[in-house]
Chain A
Amino acid sequence: MYLNIIKFGEALIESRSLFAEAAWLTLKLTAVSIFIAIFIGLFFALLKISNIKVLEWIANLYIFIVRGTPLIVQIFVFYYGLTEIAMISGFWSATLGLAFHNGAYIAEIFRGSIQSIGKGQNEAGRSLGMNRSQTMKRIILPQAFRRALPPLGNQFIIGLKDSSLAAFIGLTEIFGAATTMGANTFDYMTWLLVSAVYYLILVFLLTLLVSFIEKKMAASD
């Protein structure tokens, strides 16, 4: 046991440049895919509350597909679909796959938070002569976004951990780096634990960031 801890510490230190690079890739995958997913989510949330049957149906179909299939399948479909047809890199197919996936969950988060804003807010905007889109953009969405922050933060964390699946299409992000090192050294346990340390640190930092943003946005409370 004593020896193992020493070994683990040595592994952690020796591999730091490899894992720093891998962590950077994980961060990029997560940040870019979540960024895109926010727009996808907002778009489908607006479809869902549009009161237009066809649009609601499209949104429901999208969410049904994402929820009903494993993320790894979605990533591979994007990988084979996009790399072969559109000659897109592995990074972008993983990013788009993750965005497609997270977008559905974020759509539900936004839909819930938009609907949680009382209809009095909408009526106040409309009674002042603001049109539907002005009221949505300036009155409803800013409040809805604030309410969505805690579940969004949670979804970011899930997205960060899910980005590990990009290893299966050959990306050397944190989990990919760990399995590569494990295969080279025949010591999977050490490297998986090293990867766990990196994930914990990133999730911790992300949690801090989200609570910082929440505090900033709570100025009006």
Chain B
Amino acid sequence: MSEAREMIRVEKLNKSFGDLHVLKDIDFTVKESEVVVLIGASGSGKSTLLRCLNYLELKNDGKIIIEGKETDPKKDDLNKVRQKVGMVFQHFNLFPHKTVLENVIEAPTQVKKIKKSQAIEEAKTLLDKVGLADKADDYPSRLSGGQKQRVAIARALAMKPDIMLFDEPTSALDPELVGEVLATMKELAKEGMTMVVVTHEMGFAREVADKVVYMHDGRIVEEGEPHQLFDHPQEQRTQEFLSSIL
């Protein structure tokens, strides 16, 4: 059996904001096509970990190896790494002054310098895939939260990333809109996208995740397959956390 390629390897990652030690000796790997779900209480460092992976935050110590390559923020071009690692935010962060289509073609045309006509064609395919082909010419302010998040997913996919990071993609949504975004993410997982997802949607974690990672106070306390972690948590902290949210 051939081992799947390692997409992300994090070793002894430490990160502080001033005196606040937020990530403590994090070790963490994600293999190709794996879906890893990060859970944990608010403030436990999930977002910071995710943001370290695409260098929105810079680590203090340790290793971050993306697709076999370690990047030095001082010497290397972070924009190159970020093109390979797409990110979806809790608050969508769509560009409000651009239409849906313009949001999606912005990075391919500006960063990859792809011809506009080709970018538009690819964007339309992506919008079709997330079920928003008919919204191409609307501005984000006209969309529902669920639609906005699906545009944000299409926008990230337009760069053809190898890895997608999701930071609580459904937390800002009205409950009835959560399903459509999760469905899009499931679709993506099924196609083999490597994904790291911070979420409180335990149903999604159970169904889609290959691995669930529980974080507490800047450390990874426990990780395992969903049924193992949810049904037979080994650590007391994990048990407490799970019973607090269920």
A residues touching B (Cβ–Cβ < 8 Å)?
118, 120-121, 123-124, 126-131, 134, 138-139, 142-143, 146, 219-221
* A residues less than 8 Å from B159 (CB atoms): 128-129
List 9 A–B pairs whose Cβ atoms lie within 8 Å, in order of A's numbering.
A120-B89, A121-B95, A126-B82, A128-B106, A128-B107, A128-B155, A128-B159, A138-B110, A139-B95
Of chain B, the residue at the smallest CB distance from A132 is B79
Q: Are A143 and B97 in contact (CB under 8 A)?
A: yes
Q: How far is the CA of A134 from the CA of B87 in the complex (A)?
A: 18
Q: How far is the CA of A126 from the CA of B156 in the complex (A)?
A: 11
Shortest C-beta distance, A68 to chain B (Å), equals 36
- Interface assignment of B114: CB less than 8 Å from any CB of chain A: no
Chain B 167-179, CB-CB to A under 8 Å as 1, else 0, gives 0000000000000
Shortest C-beta distance, B98 to chain A (Å), equals 8
Shortest C-beta distance, B143 to chain A (Å), equals 12
Number of interface residues of B (CB under 8 A): 29
Q: Are A129 and B111 in contact (CB under 8 A)?
A: yes
Shortest C-beta distance, B116 to chain A (Å), equals 14
* B residues less than 8 Å from A124 (CB atoms): 89, 93-95
* B residues less than 8 Å from A127 (CB atoms): 54, 56, 82, 85-87, 156
Shortest C-beta distance, A148 to chain B (Å), equals 13
Shortest C-beta distance, B159 to chain A (Å), equals 6
Of chain A, the residue at the smallest CB distance from B110 is A134
B residues touching A (Cβ–Cβ < 8 Å)?
54, 56, 79-80, 82-83, 85-87, 89, 91, 93-99, 106-107, 110-112, 139-141, 155-156, 159
Q: How far is the CA of A221 from the CA of B159 in the complex (A)?
A: 27
Q: How far is the CA of A196 from the CA of B107 in the complex (A)?
A: 51
* A130 interface neighbour in B85, B91, B111, Cβ under 8 Å: B111
In terms of DSSP, what is the predominant structure of the interface of chain A?
helix
Q: How far is the CA of A130 from the CA of B107 in the complex (A)?
A: 7
Q: How far is the CA of A174 from the CA of B139 in the complex (A)?
A: 44
Q: How far is the CA of A124 from the CA of B88 in the complex (A)?
A: 8
* A residues less than 8 Å from B87 (CB atoms): 123, 127
Of chain A, the residue at the smallest CB distance from B83 is A129
Shortest C-beta distance, B56 to chain A (Å), equals 6
* B residues less than 8 Å from A120 (CB atoms): 89, 91, 93
Q: Are A123 and B106 in contact (CB under 8 A)?
A: no
* A146 interface neighbour in B91, B97, B155, Cβ under 8 Å: B97
Of chain B, the residue at the smallest CB distance from A219 is B139
The verdict on A221 contacting B111 (CB below 8 Å), with A120-B89, A127-B54, A131-B79 known, is: no
Q: Are B93 and A123 in contact (CB under 8 A)?
A: yes
Of chain A, the residue at the smallest CB distance from B55 is A126
Shortest C-beta distance, B197 to chain A (Å), equals 15
Of chain B, the residue at the smallest CB distance from A119 is B93
Best-buried of A120, A121, A127, A134 by chain B (most CB within 10 Å): A127
Q: Are A121 and B110 in contact (CB under 8 A)?
A: no
Q: Are B79 and A130 in contact (CB under 8 A)?
A: yes
* A residues less than 8 Å from B111 (CB atoms): 128-130, 134
Q: Are B96 and A129 in contact (CB under 8 A)?
A: no
Which 8 residue pairs spanning A and B have beta carbons closest together?
A129-B83, A128-B107, A124-B93, A220-B139, A127-B87, A120-B93, A129-B111, A129-B82
